Amino acid sequence: MWDEQGTQYLDAFAGLWCVNLGYGRKELIDAASQQMAQLPYYNLFFNTSTEPVINLAKTLASIAPAHINNAFFCGSGSEANDTVFRMVRRYWDLKQQPTKKIFIGRHNGYHGSTVAGASLGGMGYMHKQGDLPINGVVHINQPYWFGEGGDLTPEEFGLQRAQELESKILEIGADNVAAFVAEPIQGAGGIIIPPSTYWPEIQRIVKKYNILLVVDEVICGFGRTGNWFGCDTLDIKADLMPIAKGLSSGYLPIGGVLIADHVAETFKQENSGDLNHGFTYSGHPVCAAVALANVNIIRDENIIENVQQNTGPYLAAQLQRLSDHPLVGEVRSAGLLAAIELVKDKTSRSRFDSKGTAGSSCRDHALANGLILRATGDTMLLSPPLVITNTEIDQLISKISLALDNTYNDLTTPK
Ligand SMILES: *Cc1c(COP(=O)(O)O)cnc(C)c1O
């Protein structure tokens, strides 16, 4: 990318976790203009549909886990999570269990910025405004070992945080709980990869208490972690998967919810009645055409295999070399999703006194050095386009190294 002065940047954040195919893919531009010329708009409300939407749904069913073969489309990840909210409650009504209404989310989870999305999410700074979360949404703690694990091993801590779900269900009563909602790997919260014990225990609990599992794939989907979905990487069996971002590589706005067969069947039963839900731009044909072209390119160019076998491991190995840096407390990655924790003391994992100073300083130094990344508090976040090459990863690492050195100097030089 180049700014208005012609300065060049390596965008190691793929716009906002979404430009998976990188900028300037002519096939996506052509898909949009051809669909615009063919049929710029039609709706999906009255037993009508359009070709790109039908083909996109078919293609998503073919790449999603085997038990997921239905899709609902909308305009964004937030709308996808709002759709989940309504769909899950309607599902339990149809199952004759109308008391199952409460959603359990996680502190520091992110599920969007609409009323339901921000409520399901656990961002304190969002909840502070406008009396969120709304009724019927509660939260448990996150599996963030580096920040909150104390003296426990990651495995002990992962188990403990998963078991908070069981305690919360027992407190509310399983008959009142509709669903647990979580990202496979938290994105906006700081690329938090749960300990290996976490997801198996979560899945044991949701099964035991008959609770739907909503796995928000808005960031992890479409190759980010080295498989089509975060669920594939972490071996999670979801009932509903909100998607957006990488679905169209951000070229046009589109989101959706992928729906497991047993949920979809409930809505298709005779006399089940409609879910009275939908948007004017649900399955917008131009957005769907671009998403379809995007998914086809990811598949046909073996982009996910390359992330899994080549660039993902290469990035992990190069990041590991940064762990000797005095500022770096931990590096972690899954595919092309990576985090660097900045600390004052490596052994105790303690932070600098004014939280976020190291992070924003590092981000500013990186930017001045032609590298775009993001900081959440003192955690540096990387999510480069999936087409990044190993040579570009070398550039990325040397730019981060320099930013770390500069940040270290700032923090340790007396003013
Ligand atoms: C970005 C994001 C959303 C919200 O998507 P929007 O398109 O911004 O509405 C929801 N969930 C996750 C995990 C996200 O990262």
pLDDT score at 135 = 97
**Residues 410 and 361: beta-carbon distance below 8 Å:** yes
185 lines ligand 1 (CB under 6 A): no
Domain endpoint, select from 300, 319, 350: 300
Same domain, 121 and 248: yes
Pocket test for ligand 1, best of 18, 110, 115, 247 (most atoms within 8 A of CB): 110
| Ligand 1 pocket check for 201: Cβ under 6 Å | no
The rounded mean pLDDT for the chain is 97
Of 300, 332, 359, the position where a domain reaches its end is 300
Instruction: Assess if residue 161 is contained within a domain.
Output: yes
Query: CB of 216 closer than 6 A to ligand 1?
Result: yes
- What is the value of pTM for the model shown? 0.98
Would residue 16 count as lying in a domain? Answer: no
Residues 306 and 296 in one domain: no
| Residue 386 CA, ligand 1 centroid: distance in Å | 18
Ligand 1: distance of its center to the CA of 408 in Å?
33
Phi, psi of 223 (to 5 degrees): 100, -10
Total domains, the chain: 2
Other beta carbons less than 10 A from residue 371's beta carbon? 23
Q: Is the pLDDT of residue 415 over 80?
A: no
Q: Is residue 12 part of a domain?
A: no
pLDDT over threshold 90, residue 341: yes
Q: What spacing in Å lies between the alpha carbon of 218 and ligand 1's midpoint?
A: 6
Range of the domain at 345: 302-412
Instruction: Identify whether residues 77 and 185 lie together within a single domain.
Output: yes
How far is Cα 171 from Cα 72, in angstroms, rounded to an integer? Answer: 33
- CATH at 290: 3.40.640.10
pLDDT for res 386: 98
Cα dist from 199 to 236, 279, 303, whole Å = 7, 33, 26
For the stretch 347-399, pLDDT in tens is 999 999 888 899 999 999 999 999 999 999 999 999 999 999 999 999 999 99
Q: How far apart are CA 245 and CA 73, in angstroms?
A: 13
166: Cβ below 6 Å to ligand 1? no
Among 300, 330, 356, residue at a domain's last position: 300
Mean per-residue pLDDT, 267-283: 88
pLDDT of residue 355: 83
84 lines ligand 1 (CB under 6 A): no
Cβ of residue 252 lying under 6 Å from some atom of ligand 1 = no
The owner of tokens 């004017």 is 280
43-47, 116-120, 193-197, 272-276 — which is least confidently predicted? 272-276
* pLDDT tens-place string over residues 280-301: 999 999 999 999 999 999 999 9
